[in-house]
Amino acid sequence: MGKFFEYIGSQMGNPRGIIGNIMTWGMNRANKVMYNGIVSEVNLQQNNVLLDVGFGNGYLIQKLYAKQKCTIYGIDISEDMIAPASKKNNKGIEEGNIHLSVGDCCNLDFQDCTFHIVTTMNTIYFWNDTLKGLQEIYRVLKDDGIFVNAVVRKESLKKIAYTKNVFKLFEKEDYIKLGKQAGFSNIEIKDLSNGFTFLVIYRK
């Protein structure tokens, strides 16, 4: 059973094939409070350039673009997520505003100070080098930029069998400490309405 749960956990961290598609579809249904939390937190303007890290099947990008048309880049380590995310966001892609590619947030292929906003949801547990990922996001954010990171509380994740051996788990204080080490000067935690998820909001 341990191997089965590890397989499920690894699909969360890098969704592949049909199972990956089914799991990301499940995430869209299970995590509404988190998607809505990010969408209402970001004050999107038409001239903004936003990066979503680990877009999965592109559901968050779809919601952000529906809120405000702007320029959105998405990166994900899973090549298999490009097709479902492109399908969901075909309008924005055709309009030349949404750009999806394979990429790792620990080594971002973007110039310094490119983005007004960076978002990510349920991805930080899987980054190979958490501090490097935060440093990279700090680097590509504009000087008054904001990074919104939606996560599940450590106590809740610990109760889920598939997180064992796969997820890196962080306390609220860890998110703050690592963010400060990466260079962020202002870090705020906002609890979401379901009581077991929250946003970590990092300002440069």
Stretch that binds ligand SAM, among 9-17, 37-45, 63-71, 88-96 (CB under 6 A): 9-17
- Phi and psi (nearest 5°) for 117? -140, 140
Contact residue for ligand SAM among 8, 82, 106, 176 (CB under 6 A): 106
Residue 120 bridge partners (DSSP): 53, 149
Stretch that binds ligand SAM, among 75-83, 135-143, 164-172, 177-185 (CB under 6 A): 75-83
Q: How far is the CB of 130 from ligand SAM (least distance, A)?
A: 9
Residue 105 binds to ligand SAM (criterion: CB under 6 A): yes
Token pair belonging to 77 = 């380590």
Nearer to ligand SAM, 12 or 70 (CB): 12
Size of the site for ligand SAM (CB under 6 A): 26
Nearer to ligand SAM, 11 or 71 (CB): 11
Residue 123 binds to ligand SAM (criterion: CB under 6 A): yes
What b/e string do you get for 142-172 counting C-beta neighbours within 10 Å, with b at 16 or more? Answer: eeebbbbbbbbbeeebeeeebbeebbebbee
CA distance 198 to 180: 18
Residue 81 binds to ligand SAM (criterion: CB under 6 A): yes
**Cα-atom radius of gyration of the chain, to the nearest Å?**
16
